[in-house]
Chain A
Amino acid sequence: MSRGRFGIHGGQYIPETLMNAVIELEEAYNFYKNDPQFNKELQELFNEYAGRPSRLYFAQKMTKDLGGAKIYRKREDLNHTGAHKINNVLGQALLAKKMGKTRLIAETSAGQHGVATATAAALMDMECVVFMGKEDTIRQALNVYRMKLLGADVIPVTTGTATLKDAVSEAMREWTSRISDTHYCLGSVMGPHPFPTIVRDFQSVISKEIKQQILEKEGRLPDAVLACVGGGSNAIGSFYHFIDDKDVRLIGCEAAGRGVDTFETAATIATGRLGIFHGMKSYFCQDDDGQIAPVYSISAGLDYPGIGPEHAFLHDSGRALYVPVTDEEAVEAFEYLSRTEGIIPAIESAHAVAYAMKLAKEMTEDQIIVITISGRGDKDCAAIARYRGENIYE
């Protein structure tokens, strides 16, 4: 009966009004994922438009400085629009177009997924509406302007905590009111089936490339792959083709905010418990009555009270490890990578860098770590400056 399970997680906990829409999406996806023409077009978009494959770069200075494992970085920040989000969006927009949809709606937090969706909509001549928490429209004013420049409408969401979870809720509400011409371009490996599978498949190009590239450079697989986890799309993309390679450790880095022992955290695996929300069964930060908790992280992109169902399953099975990283650790890593390697990572990705800095030292020189840099950090510079007490605005 219930479809799209990862162990006990996943499923389709959505209003009846949307059921035929997700069934139609699943059927279309099952057809097009095996359609040579679709795959050819997507490959062309990936290569010619987004700039794939992204580089796997040996971080020589960082490796030397930390004095442990060899560190490689998967440079998703070099993609068009500056993050991994474009991989999923190009896939979903192309799929929506094939399904005859003319309008894309999306949620966004920091604005990376919104910008990517607005970009794909512009490219494919589709209408685009992006829902963004009011708080985030203020914190990320530049990205709001970018989306508008690309032709999208940006709707500030004022309900609830006016952040990512509320933007998702509002996009779902919009989808129930207008389905026939509209595709909901969900930005992470979450929500009702088939979204966690579709988004994972489009993002799995990351681990497919890492595998080829590391075999070319090192002749063997890495010992650990690290990525930051909010909903978890860049992480599942980085892990996917290594899941069966049991010797490769998979490590997801969650946003601990001010610490997992405070209420100002977004670390779902560390502090959440099993629940049902936003269409899926998974782990969620919630109170004793099942009310979803207001979460916090310096990183708007990780500021979400849940985690994708496949991650919840990888946690249950022990195949992947999820670790909390605080704001302070992430900001230090943000500054460290900028100074040491001349690469300003997204504050989201800096969470993975921070844990790698600890882990590398505990490993030996013949071991290899791959960190996915999910996005670039230009968008975060003003916020980090403010965190450090410099009063600058975009």
Chain B
Amino acid sequence: MSKIAKAFEKGKAFIPFITCGDPDLETTAAAVRAAVRAGADLIELGIPFSDPTAEGPVIQGANLRALNGGVRTEQIFELVRSLREEMGTPMVFMTYANVVFSYGAEKFIETCSRIGIDGLILPDLPFEEKEEFLPFCRKYGVDLISLIAPTSKDRISMIAKEAEGFIYLVSSLGVTGTRSAITTDLASIVAVIRENTDLPCAVGFGISTPEQARQMADVSDGAIVGSAIIKLLEKYGKDAPDYIYEFVKSMKDAIR
């Protein structure tokens, strides 16, 4: 069974997203430790990309800061390798197709497996293109996570049936970033997902407050939060991990 399932065993899962290398890898490691101590169930680690077309301004900024700081894919593998020595929390990579493709898809995914990465989230790899990486993911036991959006409609069952790890349900239209309100009828989307798979389903995009996280977790199995955490890194830099601890704790408490 996928190790990702473990993240959903202790009730609703809280999943923080952190861009590796923003502002540097030491801070990333400290932020991951803080999030895990505060109760994070699964860590989504972003490998920065120069042109992240699914991100809003906040995560775009994190990508830029990380790349300007000179972070390389190799160094991020090293970071994960060392974090794995101290924690068993499931971890997935979130990046763009070209980062994987350019490294060499098989080499990248084989490395993921070796260093203890449990899944891969690629927002620019829809169902129709998953054969690009799926054979290697199967071969090395790394879950290729499927995204479902409010516009998926008749595609939901097709995607859910073949999904692995967990389902990443996009809360609303648009790119990542905090929103004042999420108005999508997620419950009806989740109902269709449940008819087609037993996998857990977590909601992401636009969640920034404990109240929103609770609402999202109520209709699903967990909440994914990126931009709100990146804002802490943007504001506090190397001092952000303490604030991230407090934030993750408040979010996890809200959805417990």
Q: Are A15's CB and B128's CB within 8 A?
A: no
Q: Is the C-beta of B151 less than 8 angstroms from some C-beta in chain A?
A: yes
Min CB distance B42 to A, Å, is: 20
Q: Are B126's CB and A14's CB within 8 A?
A: yes
Q: Is the C-beta of A351 less than 8 angstroms from some C-beta in chain B?
A: no
Q: How distant is the Cα of A212 from the Cα of B133 in the complex, in angstroms?
A: 46
Given contacts A13-B124, A19-B155, A179-B173, are A289 and B131 in contact (CB under 8 A)?
no
B131 to chain A: which residues have CB within 8 Å?
A: 1-2
Q: Which parts of A1-33 form the interface with B (CB within 8 Å)?
A: 1-3, 11-21
Interface stretch, picked from A39-47, A252-260, A276-284, A335-343, is A276-284
| B174 touches which of A2, A160, A176, A274 (Cβ 8 Å) | A176
Q: Is the C-beta of A98 less than 8 angstroms from some C-beta in chain B?
A: no
Number of interface residues of A (CB under 8 A): 39
Interface stretch, picked from B29-37, B95-103, B210-218, B223-231, is B95-103
Q: Are A15's CB and B153's CB within 8 A?
A: no
Q: Mark A149-176, 1 if CB is under 8 A from B, else 0.
A: 0000000000110000110010011001
Q: Are A19's CB and B98's CB within 8 A?
A: no
Q: Is the C-beta of B175 less than 8 angstroms from some C-beta in chain A?
A: yes
Q: Which parts of A286-324 form the interface with B (CB within 8 Å)?
A: 286, 288-292
- Chain B interface size, under 10 / 10 to 19 / 20 to 34 / 35 or more: 35 or more
Given contacts A15-B147, A16-B148, A279-B124, are A176 and B54 in contact (CB under 8 A)?
yes
Q: Are A290's CB and B103's CB within 8 A?
A: yes
Q: How distant is the Cα of A169 from the Cα of B63 in the complex, in angstroms?
A: 14
A179 to chain B: which residues have CB within 8 Å?
A: 151, 173
Min CB distance B168 to A, Å, is: 9
Q: Which parts of B127-172 form the interface with A (CB within 8 Å)?
A: 127-129, 131-132, 146-155, 159, 170
With both beta carbons as reference points, the residue of chain A lying nearest to B52 in the complex is identified as A169
Q: Mark B32-70, 1 if CB is under 8 A from A, else 0.
A: 000000000000000001110110110010001001000
Q: Is the C-beta of B72 less than 8 angstroms from some C-beta in chain A?
A: yes
Q: Are A278's CB and B53's CB within 8 A?
A: yes
With both beta carbons as reference points, the residue of chain A lying nearest to B124 in the complex is identified as A13
Min CB distance B52 to A, Å, is: 8
Min CB distance A144 to B, Å, is: 22
| B152 touches which of A20, A290, A292 (Cβ 8 Å) | A20
Q: How distant is the Cα of A172 from the Cα of B152 in the complex, in angstroms?
A: 17
With both beta carbons as reference points, the residue of chain B lying nearest to A176 in the complex is identified as B174
Q: Are B126's CB and A275's CB within 8 A?
A: no
Given contacts A16-B147, A19-B155, A178-B173, are A292 and B98 in contact (CB under 8 A)?
yes
B152 to chain A: which residues have CB within 8 Å?
A: 16, 19-20
Q: Is the C-beta of A34 less than 8 angstroms from some C-beta in chain B?
A: no
Min CB distance B226 to A, Å, is: 15
Q: Are B155's CB and A286's CB within 8 A?
A: no
Given contacts A13-B97, A160-B51, A177-B174, are A19 and B102 in contact (CB under 8 A)?
no
B73 to chain A: which residues have CB within 8 Å?
A: 289
| B175 touches which of A16, A160, A176, A289 (Cβ 8 Å) | A176
Q: Are A15's CB and B50's CB within 8 A?
A: no
Q: Are A12's CB and B129's CB within 8 A?
A: yes
Q: Are B125's CB and A13's CB within 8 A?
A: yes
Q: Are A276's CB and B54's CB within 8 A?
A: no
Given contacts A275-B98, A278-B53, A290-B103, are A17 and B170 in contact (CB under 8 A)?
yes
Q: Are A13's CB and B170's CB within 8 A?
A: no
A17 to chain B: which residues have CB within 8 Å?
A: 149-151, 170, 173-174
| B53 touches which of A3, A21, A173, A275 (Cβ 8 Å) | A173
Q: Are B101's CB and A275's CB within 8 A?
A: yes
With both beta carbons as reference points, the residue of chain A lying nearest to B72 in the complex is identified as A289
A20 to chain B: which residues have CB within 8 Å?
A: 151-155
A1 to chain B: which residues have CB within 8 Å?
A: 128-129, 131
Q: Are A15's CB and B60's CB within 8 A?
A: no
Q: Are A160's CB and B173's CB within 8 A?
A: no
Given contacts A178-B173, A179-B173, A277-B51, are A19 and B101 in contact (CB under 8 A)?
no
Q: Are A16's CB and B98's CB within 8 A?
A: no
| A275 touches which of B54, B102, B151, B155 (Cβ 8 Å) | B102
With both beta carbons as reference points, the residue of chain B lying nearest to A170 in the complex is identified as B53
With both beta carbons as reference points, the residue of chain A lying nearest to B76 in the complex is identified as A289
Q: Are B102's CB and A16's CB within 8 A?
A: no
Q: Are B174's CB and A173's CB within 8 A?
A: yes
Given contacts A16-B170, A176-B54, A176-B173, are A2 and B128 in contact (CB under 8 A)?
yes
Given contacts A16-B147, A20-B155, A279-B124, are A11 and B51 in contact (CB under 8 A)?
no
Q: Are A290's CB and B99's CB within 8 A?
A: yes
Q: Are B51's CB and A2's CB within 8 A?
A: no
B128 to chain A: which residues have CB within 8 Å?
A: 1-3, 11-12, 19
B50 to chain A: which residues have CB within 8 Å?
A: 160, 291-292
A-B contact pairs, 16 of them (CB 8 A): A1-B131, A2-B128, A15-B53, A15-B124, A16-B149, A16-B151, A16-B159, A18-B151, A20-B155, A160-B50, A176-B174, A177-B175, A284-B98, A286-B98, A289-B72, A292-B98
Binding site for A on B (CB under 8 A): 49-51, 53-54, 56-57, 60, 64, 67, 72-73, 96-103, 123-129, 131-132, 146-155, 159, 170, 173-175
Known: A179-B173, A292-B50. 10 other contacts (CB 8 A): A2-B129, A16-B127, A17-B149, A17-B150, A18-B151, A19-B152, A173-B56, A176-B54, A275-B101, A276-B98
